Chain A
Amino acid sequence: MPRETIQIPRRIESLSILPYEGELDTELEPKIPDNDLRRLYKTMLSSRKFDERCLLLQRIGKIGTYGPTKGQEAASLGPMYAIGNDDWFVPSFRETAAMLWRGWPMSKILLWWGGNEIGASPPEGVNDLPICVPVASQCQYAMGIAWGCKLRQDGAVCVAFVGDGGTSEGDFHEALNFAAVYQAPLVMVVQNNQWAISIPRERQTRSKTIAQKAIAYGMDGFQVDGNDILAMIVATQEAVEKARNGGGPTLIEAQTYRLGMHTTADDPTKYRSEEEVKKWEPRDPLPRFRKYLKSKKLLDDKVEKVIEEEIDGLLEQAIAEYDQYEKDPYYMFKGMYAEMTPALRRQMAELREYVEGGESSEKPRGSYSRVL
C-alpha cells in the first residue's frame, strides 16, 4: 500500500440568523407562526424571571445551591420547538427554559433545587427525563432512548443536552459512537457556555469546534449560535427531520455564554474577567429575540407589560405551591423498590417510632424535630 491521504468529511457548518447588531438575514429567517413566536418569547422570559427569583430564594435559604441559566435560554428552548410530546427530552441541569416549554411546573423545578425528589418526577404527557447531575452520564441513556425509538420504529427522536465540560467525559464519546453505529435518532445538543466552572472552553479541548467531534464518529456536526433562538430552531429541525428519516444522529454545538456563576456556590470573578462577560452581554438571547419581535410588530411595551405581569403571577403561585409542599421523610423507604424489602420495612418503622415517638418510646427530642 502506498502512502496516501484518506478523504474524510471535514465540513462543519455554522449558523446564526438573528443579529445582535446589523440587519436580519431574511433569506435564513424561518417561517414560524406569530403565536408560536410569542409563546417562545414568553417561555424565554419566564425562564429568565424564574432564574432571577431562584437566586433570591437561594440567598434567603429557601432553596439550596442553585445553578443559574441566565443567557442560555435560547440554546435549550429552540430545540424543544423542533420536537413534539411523543419525542424525548433528556436534560442536563441548565435547561430550565426547555423544561418550562415542555410543561414542567415551576413549583416542580423549585422542588428539585429545594431538595425534594418530587422535583425529579417528570410531568405527565411528555417523555422527559429529570435533571441529571453526574456530568455527561445522561448522554448514555439518551442514546439508549434514541436506539429504542429506532428498534420500536415509532418515529420518535431524542434530544439530549450536555455542556462543553461534559464533552471531555468518556460517557459523551461512548454515547455518540453507539448512536452513530446504530444510526439512532439522537440529537445531542452541547450547550457550550464557554466555561466548565473555572475551566474555559479552550482549555477543555484543543478542537477548534466542539461540533467537529462528530466527524470522528461518522455523524454530522453543526455549530449554531446558541443565543439565537431562530438558529437553534432551524438547526434542530433539520437534525430532527434527518433523524426521523433514518439519517442517524447529529451533534449540535450551541455557542452560548454563562452570564452568571456556575452555581451559587462559586465566585466567577476568581477566574474570568468582567470584560469578557461585558463582551457577551449584547448577545444575550432575550433582548435579541425581543428586538426581532418588536420589528415584526408582535410585541410592544403594552403587551410586554401584560406578559410580565402574567409571569409574575405564575411565579408567586409556584412559590406558594412550593411552600405548601409537605416533606415526607418516609419516601426514601417507599420509593426504593417496587416492593419494600423486609429490612426497609423494619427501618421505616424504626424511624417512625423514633421521630413520632411510639407508645413505648420516650418523647421525641433534639435534632430530629427538624425532620418534620
Chain B
Amino acid sequence: MAELTMVQALNLAMKEAMREDPNVLMLGQDVGQDEGVFRVTEGLLREFGPQRCIDTPLAEAAIIGGAIGLCYKGFRPICELQFDGFSYQAFHQIEGHARRARTRTMGRYTCPLVVRIPYGGGIRAIEHHSEGPEATYAHLPGLHVVLPSGPRNARALLREAIFSPDPVIFFEPKALYRAFREEVPDEPETMPIGKARVAREGKDITLVSYGASLRQTMEAAEELLDEHDIDAEVIDLLSLSPLDDEMIQQSIRKTGRGVVIHESPRHCGVGAEVVARVVEESLLYLEAPIKRVTGFDTTIPFFANEMAYLPDAGRVVKAALETVRF
C-alpha cells in the first residue's frame, strides 16, 4: 500500500494499463516531454516512448477525432484535454462520432477511448479553466461520465475506463489533484462504472454529491452531527452516467430526506436528474422536498469571486437544516 495523491494515482493507473496492453496509448498536448500541465503523465514518455505517449499539435478536435480513428484501428487511446473549458473544442467529435460509433455501425466499430478532462473550480485559475461541463456530457447517450472523489477511486475508475468497451469522459477534479493522499493497493484495482459508494453512513438525511464537492459535503455532515445531532448519510456518485439509481433510492427511502450538492450550475444539472428519479420512484418515502446546493445558473465568475459561486459546507448545512426542519 502506498499513500498517493490523485495525480499520482491516476498516473499509476495509466502506467499499469500501458504496461499490460500495448494498444493503450496516451495522447494530448504537452503530455510527453512536459509530462502534462498537471504532471499526470509523469514518466510515461520515458517508459513507453514517443510512439505510445504522444505529444500532439494544438488541436482538441484533432486529438479526439484522431483518437476515434485510432480506436477503429484497434487502439485504446487515453486523451488528455488540458482544461474543462477546452473540451468544447472537441465537442463535435465526441457528440457526432465517439458516442455514436457503436450504434451507427451496429457494433462493427466501437470507441473504447477515454477523454481525461481536468475539472472544475477552486484553484484560482483564469477564464475557461474552472468549468463544470459534466451535465452537458452526461446528457449525451452513448457516453459514460465518471467523476472520482479521491486517489483510490480515481485510480480504480480510470483503469475501468481504459478497458471499457465504450467511450468514457473522465473528469478529474483539479481541486483534489494534490489536496490529500490516500492508501492505494499495490495491485491494480477496478471499480465498476455506474456504481456509487456510501461515503458515510447515516440515518437522518441523504446528502448526494461527487468530485470536489464531496469534501464540503463530508465537512457539512460532520457539522450536522456535532452541532445539530443530525446523522447524515453521504452518497458519492462517482459515475454520473450511468447513475446508480438503486443506491440513491435505497438511501432516500431510509432517511426520507435529501440534498444534492454539486459545483456546476443547477439548471438541468446532475442534481435535477437525481431529484427527478427520486420523485419518480420514491416520492411517498419523502418527508420533505429535496434541495439542491449547487453552483449558480451563471458562468463561474473569474477567480476573485469563485468562492461565492462554489458550494461550501455552510450552504450544505443550511439546506440540510431546512430539509430536516421542514
Which chain B positions have C-beta within 8 A of A64?
A: 124-126, 303
CB of B304 closer than 8 Å to a CB of A: yes
CB–CB B304/A116 < 8 A: yes
CB–CB A65/B126 < 8 A: yes
Partner-contacting stretch, out of B14-22, B53-61, B109-117, B256-264: B53-61
Interface residues of A in 344-372 (CB under 8 A from B): 344, 347-348, 351, 354-355, 361, 364-368, 370-371
Known: A168-B59, A203-B55, A344-B297. A115 touches B35 (CB 8 A): no
CB of A166 closer than 8 Å to a CB of B: yes
Q: How far is the CB of B113 from chain A (nearest CB, A)?
A: 19
CB of B136 closer than 8 Å to a CB of A: no
Q: Which of A112, A131, A204, A355 contacts B308 (CB 8 A)?
A: A355
CB–CB B314/A135 < 8 A: no
Closest residue of A by beta carbon distance from B267 = A343
Q: A64-B125, A135-B86 are in contact. List 20 more A-B contacts (CB 8 A).
A: A115-B302, A168-B58, A169-B89, A196-B29, A196-B58, A198-B34, A203-B57, A328-B305, A329-B305, A331-B305, A332-B308, A332-B309, A333-B298, A341-B297, A344-B298, A347-B266, A351-B296, A354-B314, A354-B318, A368-B314
Q: How far is the CA of A168 from the CA of B29 in the complex (A)?
A: 12
Interface residues of B in 70-129 (CB under 8 A from A): 85-86, 88-89, 124-129
Closest residue of B by beta carbon distance from A350 = B296
Main secondary structure of the interface of B (DSSP, over half): loop
CB of B134 closer than 8 Å to a CB of A: no
Count of B interface residues, CB-CB < 8 Å = 45
Can you list 5 residue pairs at the A/B interface with Cβ under 8 Å? A65-B124, A117-B301, A203-B57, A328-B305, A329-B305
CB of A317 closer than 8 Å to a CB of B: no
Which chain B positions have C-beta within 8 A of A205?
A: 57
CB of B306 closer than 8 Å to a CB of A: yes
CB–CB A270/B33 < 8 A: yes
Which chain B positions have C-beta within 8 A of A365?
A: 314
Q: Which of A115, A131, A197, A348 contacts B305 (CB 8 A)?
A: A115
Q: How far is the CA of A3 from the CA of B44 in the complex (A)?
A: 48
Which chain B positions have C-beta within 8 A of A368?
A: 307-308, 312, 314-315
CB of A165 closer than 8 Å to a CB of B: yes
Which chain A positions have C-beta within 8 A of B34?
A: 197-198, 266, 270-271
Known: A64-B303, A168-B57, A199-B55. A351 touches B308 (CB 8 A): yes
Q: How far is the CA of A65 from the CA of B313 in the complex (A)?
A: 27
Interface residues of A in 203-217 (CB under 8 A from B): 203-205
CB–CB A199/B57 < 8 A: yes
CB–CB B308/A170 < 8 A: no
Which chain B positions have C-beta within 8 A of A348?
A: 296
CB of B233 closer than 8 Å to a CB of A: no
Q: How far is the CA of A119 from the CA of B301 in the complex (A)?
A: 12
Interface string of A277-314 (1 = CB under 8 A from B): 00000000000000000000000000000000000000
Q: How far is the CA of A120 from the CA of B55 in the complex (A)?
A: 32
Known: A199-B29, A329-B305, A333-B296. A166 touches B312 (CB 8 A): no
Q: How far is the CB of A54 from chain B (nearest CB, A)?
A: 13
The 7 A-B pairs of least Cβ separation, nearest first, read: A115-B303, A198-B34, A329-B308, A115-B304, A165-B58, A168-B57, A332-B298
CB of B299 closer than 8 Å to a CB of A: yes
CB of A221 closer than 8 Å to a CB of B: no
